[in-house]
Structure 1
C-alpha cells in the first residue's frame, strides 16, 4: 500500500483540526465576556448565544475527521485490545461499511441540501434579536462530511494494509495519550533494566 495518499489525507485533516481548534479560544473569550457583561456591567450581549453555538458547532463538526485521523474516537477498547491487529482491522473494515459510510454519506448529502437552502434564503438566526447570518455556518456540515468521507477512505486503506501485513501502518503523530506515553516509557525503562 502506498501510504502517501493516507498521509496526505491525514495531513489535511490535521491542519483543519488544528485550525478550527482555535474556535475554543474564541468561544471561551465570548462566553467570558458575556458573563462579565451580564453580571458585572448588568448589560448582557445580544450576540453571545449565537456566537457560542456557532463556534461550538463548528469546532465539533470540524474536529471529527482530525479525531478519526488520530484514532481518538471512543470504542470498546477492553475487548478490542485483546484481538490480534488483523482481527481488529477486519472488524473495523466491516463496521466502516456497515455504519460509518452510510451515516457520513447521508450527513454530506442532506447537509449539502440544508446548506444550499440556507444560502438561497440568506438564512439568519431566529434565536436572538441580533439575528446573525448563519448560512456560512451551515456550510460546515457538508464540508465536515466530505472530510470525514476522505478520512474514512484513509482508514479503510489502513485496515486493508493491516489485514495483509498483520500490523497497523504508522500514523502521523502530533499528540499522544498519556497512557501511551507511560507505556512507552515503561517498556524503555524495562528494556534497560532500570526501575520504573
Structure 2
C-alpha cells in the first residue's frame, strides 16, 4: 500500500483513539446529571434541564464514541458465518458492507449539516420549558458522524490491504 494510505490510517486511528478515550469519561458526566436529577426531584424543586441535558450528553457520548467503537470492532455483528471465515474472506466481505455504511453515513452527514446550518441561522431552540439552543448538540452530531466517516475510510483501506494480501503494519 502507498505510504499516504498508511499515514492516513495511522493519523485517523490515532485521533479517533484519543477522542474515544476522552469521550468515554462522558458517562460520568451523564451519571452526575442523572444523579442530580434524582436528588432534585426528592430534596428540592425539580430541575427542568436535567432530562434534556442528559439526552444531549448521551448523544455526544455515542456519536463521538462511534468512530472509536468502529476502530475497536466492537459494534454488533451477526456472527453465524463470519467467525469461521479466513481473514482475507472477512476483509472482502467487509469491503462490500462498509460501502453500504458509507451511503448511510453520507445521508446522515448531509442531513446533519443542513440541520446544523438551520439551527445556526435561525437560533433554533428546543420546544421544552428549558428551551436550550440546539446548535451545540447538532455541531457535536456532525463532528461525530464525520469522525465515523473518516474511521470507516481507514477500515476500508485496512480491509483492502488484507484482501490484496498486503496488510498494513
Residue among 71, 92, 95 paired with 2:94: 92
Offset at 1:36?
Answer: 1.0
Which residue does the alignment assign to 2:104?
Answer: 103
Deviations 1:127-157 (A, max 9, x none): 2x22122211111222122111111110111
Q: Kindly provide the CA deviation profile for residues 22-45 of structure 1, in whole angstroms up to 9, marking residues without a partner as x.
A: 321111001001101112x14211
Q: Which runs of 5+ in 1 are unaligned?
A: 171-196
Matches within 5 A, 1:1-196: 1=1, 2=3, 3-39=6-42, 41-97=43-99, 99-127=100-128, 129-165=129-165, 169=168
What TM-score, normalized to structure 1? Answer: 0.79
Distance 1:140 1:42 in 2: 32
Does structure 2 retain, via aligned residues, the 8 Å contact 1:108–1:143?
A: no
How many residues end up aligned between the 2 structures?
166
Using the alignment, how far apart are the partners of 1:81 and 1:4 within structure 2? 29
User: Aligned residue for 1:184?
Assistant: none
Alignment RMSD (CA, Å) = 1.5
The structure, 1 or 2, with the larger RCO (C-alpha pairs under 8 Å, 6+ apart) is: 2
Whole-Å separation in 1 of the counterparts to 2:117 and 2:19: 22
CA distance in structure 2 between the partners assigned to 1:155 and 1:109 by the alignment: 21
* Unmatched segments (≥5 aa) in structure 2: none
CA distance in 1, matches of 2:25, 2:49: 19
TM-score norm. by structure 2 comes to 0.91
